[in-house]
Each structure stands twice: as C-alpha cells, then as structure tokens.
C-alpha cells in the first residue's frame, strides 16, 4: 500500500473487489449463454439445484438480496420455463420456487461451468479455495 497516496484508485480494496467482480461476471456470460441463463439467474439456480422448492425469502437471504430485487429474475426464469412459482399451502403469503423439468435438465451441463471458471482464474485450486475462504470471512466481518 502506498500510504503517501491513499486516494489512488488502484490502492482501494473496494475497487479491487468491484473490478474483479465485474471481470468474473463477464467470464460467466459466455459460459451461461448456452444454458440460457444470466449470472443472477445462475445464482438462483445453484440454490434450487441444491434444494428444490425453496422459499423466495430464503433464496434472497442466501444471496444477500431483498426478495423484491429477485422477483424479476425469478419471473424471467418462470417465463423461460425453468422454474415454477407456487404459493405454499400452509402460508398463502409465502412463495416457493420449484425447478421445472427443463430446470432440472440444466443441472448437468451447468456442472461444467465451475471447472471452466477455475481454469480461467489461472491459479492453483488450493489458492482459489483460500481466496474464497478469505472473501467469506471479509463478507462476514462487513455484515456484523
């Protein structure tokens, strides 16, 4: 760190995180295109591939989003025939999201995306795992 020039853009942690996030999102774009998914849709699908029938509030919580911000993403997934939105029988106010057959079929081809991303990072797997752990710790600290 250059303590004499604390306002240099390249010195800012926030800019490093921001620009890396943009680069990562751009990396995913051509990988997700054949699946017909955008990056935000892919994140929702990752949750549903782990556990089908998750509530909208639970998805939002896992992604660190507000449910209202995810509604357009999920509506688009529904329009594309990938998910089905359904009211919970035990609580008509709660919305659950289920995978359609088309959504379930995307799981296998989507499993290849992570390997492509890891390869594009050009770092040993152990370093990527450590980086992820460090970022999780940072996020946890910032949310406190």
Q: What is the pLDDT of residue 113?
A: 97
Does the pLDDT of residue 1 top 70, yes or no?
no
Boundaries of every domain in the chain: 21-111
Q: Which of 10-24, 42-56, 89-103, 105-119 has the lowest mean pLDDT?
A: 89-103
Q: What does the pLDDT average to over 82-94? A: 83
Does the pLDDT of residue 94 top 90, yes or no?
no
Q: Which residues contact 66 (CB under 8 A, 6 or more apart)?
A: 60
Does the pLDDT of residue 93 top 90, yes or no?
no
Does the pLDDT of residue 92 top 80, yes or no?
no
Tell me which of 3.10.129.10, 1.10.287.130, 1.50.10.10, 1.10.10.10 is the CATH number of domain 21-111: 1.10.10.10
pLDDT digits (tens, 9 = 90+) for 32-75: 999 999 999 999 999 999 999 999 999 999 999 999 999 999 99
Q: What is the pLDDT of residue 127?
A: 97
Q: What is the pLDDT of residue 87?
A: 83
70-102: string of b/e by CB count within 10 Å (b at 16+)? beebbebbeeeebbeeeeeeeeeeebbbebeee
Q: What is the pLDDT of residue 5?
A: 79
User: 3 vs 33, which has greater pLDDT?
Assistant: 33
């Amino acid at each position: 760190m250059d303590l004499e020039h604390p306002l240099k853009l390249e010195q800012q942690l926030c800019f490093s995180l921001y620009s890396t996030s943009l680069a990562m999102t751009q990396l995913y774009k051509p990988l997700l295109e054949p699946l017909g998914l955008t990056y935000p849709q892919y994140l929702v699908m990752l949750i549903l591939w782990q556990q089908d029938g998750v509530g909208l509030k639970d998805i939002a919580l896992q992604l660190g989003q507000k449910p209202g911000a995810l509604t357009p993403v999920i509506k688009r997934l529904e329009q594309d025939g990938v998910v089905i939105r359904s009211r919970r029988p035990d609580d008509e106010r709660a919305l659950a999201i289920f995978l359609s057959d088309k959504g379930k079929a995307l799981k296998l081809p989507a499993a290849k995306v992570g390997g492509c991303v890891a390869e594009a990072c050009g770092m040993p797997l152990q370093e990527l795992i450590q980086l992820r752990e460090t970022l999780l710790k940072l996020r946890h600290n910032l949310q406190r």
